[in-house]
């Protein structure tokens, strides 16, 4: 009987030791299901690959300059800033670049709302044969950069930094180089580099359509 009582006491002691001993820390392994991330990246890659097939088949560039002219900015019936070249006493430069919607080179599909137009206008004194516009010169030269496309800030924008320089290379040609920064209302900065020979225009162009 004593033997059984001793075993009972010993069993209680062992049980007490087991339950009072702190459990070991079990490392937590976090399993991240990255299939969703991979799927998203794969979709972006596929979209980029798809858009890579779309190209502008034709880009029309018209760089002209106009003696005895001036730039006039005004707000049209849509309350958007527009421009026109009118008679005046300065030498006006007008750069126009336009492209229709991009086309898929494989399927021939048209990418809607991808067309754009770019304008650059500025004016200088008529007796100059070379010039360089920088910083505060942009305002005096009535210079603006226009981007007309399917996005909220389509229109004319202020040129805020960089330079526009030119040299007269013949009686009917100017060589113009630009490295300009233009700013949209949200204070986003964009850079545009151009290098073109501007041809003399013998007539006034209509106001650029927006």
Residue 38 banded pLDDT, cuts 50, 70, 90: low
pTM > 0.85: no
Strand partners, 173: 170, 199
What pLDDT, on a 0 to 100 scale, did the predictor assign at position 5?
Answer: 45
Assigned token pair, 84 = 């026109």
Rounded to whole angstroms, the Cα distance separating 179 from 159 reads 10
What pLDDT, on a 0 to 100 scale, did the predictor assign at position 23?
Answer: 46
Strand partners, 122: 93
Assigned token pair, 144 = 């603006």
In this model, does residue 53 exceed pLDDT 60? yes
Residue 31 banded pLDDT, cuts 50, 70, 90: very low
Residue 92 banded pLDDT, cuts 50, 70, 90: very high
In this model, does residue 49 exceed pLDDT 80? no
Digit-coded pLDDT (tens) for 106-130? 888 888 888 899 999 999 999 999 9
- CA angle (180 as vertex; 174, 181 as ends), nearest 5: 160
In this model, does residue 20 exceed pLDDT 70? no
Residue 195 banded pLDDT, cuts 50, 70, 90: confident
């Amino acid at each position: 009987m004593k033997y059984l009582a001793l075993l009972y006491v010993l069993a209680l002691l062992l049980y007490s030791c087991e339950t009072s001993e702190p459990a070991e820390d079990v490392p937590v392994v976090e399993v991240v299901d990255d299939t969703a991330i991979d799927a998203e990246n794969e979709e972006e890659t596929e979209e980029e690959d798809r858009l890579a097939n779309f190209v502008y088949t034709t880009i029309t560039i018209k760089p002209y300059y106009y003696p005895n002219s001036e730039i006039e900015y005004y707000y049209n019936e849509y309350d958007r800033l527009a421009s026109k070249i009118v008679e005046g006493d300065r030498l006006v430069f007008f750069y126009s670049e336009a492209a229709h919607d991009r086309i898929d080179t494989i399927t021939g599909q048209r990418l809607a709302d991808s067309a754009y137009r770019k304008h650059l206008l500025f004016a200088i004194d008529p007796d100059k044969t070379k010039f360089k516009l920088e910083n505060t010169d942009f305002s005096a030269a009535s210079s603006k950069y226009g981007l007309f496309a399917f996005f909220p800030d389509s229109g004319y924008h202020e040129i805020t930094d960089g330079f526009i320089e030119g040299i007269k290379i013949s009686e009917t040609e100017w060589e113009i180089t630009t490295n300009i920064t233009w700013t949209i209302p949200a204070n986003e900065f964009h850079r545009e580099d151009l290098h073109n020979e501007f041809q003399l225009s013998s007539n006034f162009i209509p106001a650029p359509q927006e």
